[in-house]
Chain A
Amino acid sequence: MIEAVSQIPLSWFLIVAAALFSIGLYGVLARRNAVAMLMSVELMLNAVNINLIAFWRYIDPLQPTGVAWAIFVLTVAAAEAAVGLALIISIYRQRDSVIAEELDVLKY
C-alpha cells in the first residue's frame, strides 16, 4: 500500500475529511432527535481523525505521534458516546421525549 500515498495528493484526503465534517455539522445543527445529533458528532470526530492520520502519513510517518493522537481521540469519542447515550436514556425516562426542542426546562 506504500505506493498509494505517492499517487493520491494530501489535499484529497483533507477535502474528504472536510466534507464529512460539514455533513456532521449539518446533522448536529438540523436534526431534532438527540440520538441523531450524537451520531453526527461521531461523524465529525471521524473527519478529524482522517485529517490526523493523513498529516501523520504525509509529513512524519517515522514517528507514531499522529496515530497516538488519533487513538486518544478515539478513546474520548468512546467515552463521549457512552455518557451521551446514558444521558439521553435518562432524559427519555423522565420526560418521555428525545426531541432536543422539547427539552426546554432551563429556558423558562
Chain B
Amino acid sequence: MQIIFIIVSAVTLLSGIMVVTNRNLFHAALYMMLSFLGVAGLYVLLDAGFMAAAQLLVYIGAISILVIFAIMMTRRLMQTTETPYNSQWVWSGIASVSVFALIVLVITQVTAVLPTDPNAFMAPSAINDAVLYDALSNMVISLGESFVSAEQYVLPFILSSVLLLVALVGAIIVARPDVEENES
C-alpha cells in the first residue's frame, strides 16, 4: 500500500514539475492532466471514490480541455524557442522552496509530538471498523443529503450553483468577439 502511495505521488509531483518547466505549453497541459490523474489516485487511497470520480470529470474532462482550447486559440503560446520564465525566476524558486521547507518543518514538528497511532485523531465511534466501512460506503448518500438539508449545506450549494452560472455567462460575454468584428 505504501508502494502504491509512493508511485502515485511520484507521478503527481514529477508531472507537476513538468507542468511548470516544460517549454512547450501543449505538453505542459498534457502533463497537467497526468498530475490530476495522480491526485485522483491519492483520493482513491483516501477512500474518497466520489472525489476521485469528480476529479476525473471536472479536472481532466473539463478544465484540461478548456486549457487546451485556450492554448490552441492563442497561437503565440505554441512557440517553444523563447524562455518560459520571467526575470525573477531565481527568486521565485527560492520563495517556493522556502515555503515548502516551512510547511514540512511544521508538519514534522507537529507529528513528532503527536501519538503515532493512526487512529489517535479519529472520532471515537469511527475506530470501529464495521461502522467506518458502513459510513464510507454510504458516503455519497450522506453527501447528497447534506447538500439539500437545511441545517447543513443547502445555502452554499445553491450559492455555488449561482456562482457557476454567473461565471459561465460572464466567460461567454468576456470572450465574445466585438459586434463590429463579427460584421466585417
On A, residues with C-beta under 8 Å from B are: 1-16, 18-27, 29-33, 35-36, 38-40, 42-43, 46, 49-50, 53-54, 56-65, 67-68, 70-72, 74-83, 85-90, 92-93, 96-98, 100-101
Tally chain B residues at the interface, Cβ within 8 Å: 94
Do the beta carbons of B99 and A90 come within 8 Å of each other? no
Shortest Cβ gap from A62 to chain B (Å): 5
Do the beta carbons of A16 and B13 come within 8 Å of each other? yes
CA A88 to CA B69, docked complex, whole Å: 12
The SS class assigned to the A binding surface is: helix
Shortest Cβ gap from A74 to chain B (Å): 5
Q: Which residues of A contact B50 (CB under 8 A)?
A: 67
Q: Which residue of the partner chain, among B55, B92, B100, B171, contacts A18 with CB atoms under 8 Å?
A: B100
Do the beta carbons of B19 and A57 come within 8 Å of each other? no
Do the beta carbons of A59 and B121 come within 8 Å of each other? yes
Do the beta carbons of B111 and A11 come within 8 Å of each other? yes
A-B contact pairs, 19 of them (CB 8 A): A4-B46, A10-B121, A14-B107, A21-B103, A31-B85, A33-B84, A36-B20, A53-B42, A58-B118, A60-B122, A64-B146, A67-B51, A67-B143, A76-B160, A77-B63, A78-B167, A82-B66, A89-B70, A89-B74
Do the beta carbons of A86 and B111 come within 8 Å of each other? no
Shortest Cβ gap from B59 to chain A (Å): 7
Q: Which residues of B contact A64 (CB under 8 A)?
A: 139, 142-143, 146
Do the beta carbons of B85 and A32 come within 8 Å of each other? yes
Do the beta carbons of B2 and A92 come within 8 Å of each other? no
Q: Known: A22-B100, A25-B99. Is A30-B19 also a contact (CB below 8 A)?
A: no
Q: Which residue of the partner chain, among A32, A59, A65, contacts B122 with CB atoms under 8 Å?
A: A59
- Any chain A CB within 8 A of the CB of B131? yes
- Residue among B36, B66, B74, B119 with max Cβ neighbours from chain A (10 Å): B74
Q: Known: A35-B25, A82-B171. Is A42-B143 also a contact (CB below 8 A)?
A: no
CA A7 to CA B117, docked complex, whole Å: 10
CA A38 to CA B25, docked complex, whole Å: 12
- Any chain A CB within 8 A of the CB of B172? yes
